[in-house]
Amino acid sequence: MTTDFPSFEIPGRVALVTGAARGLGRAIALTLANAGADVALGLRDVHADAGLAEQIEALGRRALPLQMDVTDPGQVRAAVDATAEHFGRLDILVNNAGIAPGNPAEDVTEADFDATLAVNLKGTFFASQAAGRVMIRQGYGRIVNVGSQAGAVALPGESVYCMTKAAIAHLTRCLAVEWGPHGVTVNAVAPTFVHTPGTADHLADPARRADVVERIAALHRIGEPMEVAGAVLFLVSPAASLITGEVMLIDGGWTAR
């Protein structure tokens, strides 16, 4: 039995965060850097990191902005390969990129359906596949998928988004079982509504905001990006070495009701 105390630091690790330019991705990238990791930034537009690389470097870590539209498997593979080549390894992948075009189910267009699946599912799978190949060779890896409470509860007007997040939860379990023997853990976080550019329009409506706050049953407040980033850090840290195939709800009590 080991007597080492749990560690939440990740010095010397190399992480790749998709959708890193803003919101949850930005908070996660900074949190991993603060804990000791060098961070590759997967960006839909490599020129749009809005000073994130400089912030990471100010923390004493290395940053690598990369062109990575997750709907393009070629860009995904190139970004993963560039990360491993530049830093010499790839220890952590955070699949954060996602979209949520809202529409009543009867009004969903094929274009919206295809776009949501392309980012949320296709992007997550092929980024995991590319990173998984590197991690299997290393005999070590940590993958965290950013799901949503929408994978566990129904959100009106978000049927396709909810479907993709439910699928991500099960993909997480499948990859965890398949890659566990190679030293790779795969987990997911499932946040409630968090203050990000992606939720700003929804939460700007007073009635919808009041409904969300009421449904966050225990805490009755909107989440903050760093509250999600902390859970991601835990799952990639040595403290979570026995956890895999789990979906961690970060919902302020929404689903406890």
Does the residue 9 lie in any domain? no
Selected residue with higher pLDDT from 31 and 206: 31
Give the position of tokens 């189910």.
Answer: 105
188, 147 in Cβ contact below 8 A? yes
**pLDDT score recorded for residue 167:** 98
Label each residue of the chain as H, E or C: CCCCCCCCCCCCCEEEEECCCCHHHHHHHHHHHHCCCEEEEEECCCCCCCCHHHHHHHCCCCEEEEECCCCCHHHHHHHHHHHHHHHCCCCEEEECCCCCCCECHHHCCHHHHHHHHHHHHHHHHHHHHHHHHHHHHHCCEEEEEECCHHHCCCCCCEHHHHHHHHHHHHHHHHHHHHHHHHCEEEEEEEECCECCCCCHHHHHCHHHHHHHHHHCCCCCCCECHHHHHHHHHHHHCHHHCCCCCCEEEECCCHHHC
**pLDDT score recorded for residue 117:** 97
**pLDDT score recorded for residue 1:** 55
Does the residue 1 lie in any domain? no
Give Dmax over CA atoms of the chain in angstroms: 57
41, 18 in Cβ contact below 8 A? no
CA-closest candidate to residue 33, choices 5, 3, 13, 4: 13
Does the residue 24 lie in any domain? yes
**pLDDT score recorded for residue 249:** 97
Does the residue 50 lie in any domain? yes
| Summary mean pLDDT of the chain | 95
Does the residue 5 lie in any domain? no
In the chain, how many domains are there? 1
**pLDDT score recorded for residue 2:** 60
Query: What CATH number is attached to the domain comprising 57?
Result: 3.40.50.720
Whole-number Å distance between alpha carbons of 217 and 14: 37
Does the residue 31 lie in any domain? yes
Residue 119 has pLDDT above 60, yes or no: yes
Whole-number Å distance between alpha carbons of 16 and 130: 12
Does the residue 2 lie in any domain? no
Instruction: Give the active site residue among 87, 125, 126, 161.
Output: 161
The yes-or-no answer on residue 140 being catalytic is no
Q: Which domain holds residue 119?
A: 14-256
Give the position of tokens 């890659």.
Answer: 179
Q: What spatial distance separates the first Cα and last Cα of the chain, rounded to whole Å?
A: 38
Does the residue 240 lie in any domain? yes
Residue 3 has pLDDT above 80, yes or no: no
Residue range 148-193, pLDDT digits in tens: 999 999 999 999 999 999 999 999 999 999 999 999 999 999 999 8
41, 29 in Cβ contact below 8 A? yes
Residue range 196-252, pLDDT digits in tens: 888 888 888 888 898 888 988 889 999 999 999 999 999 999 999 999 999 999 999
CA-closest candidate to residue 28, choices 228, 244, 234, 235: 228
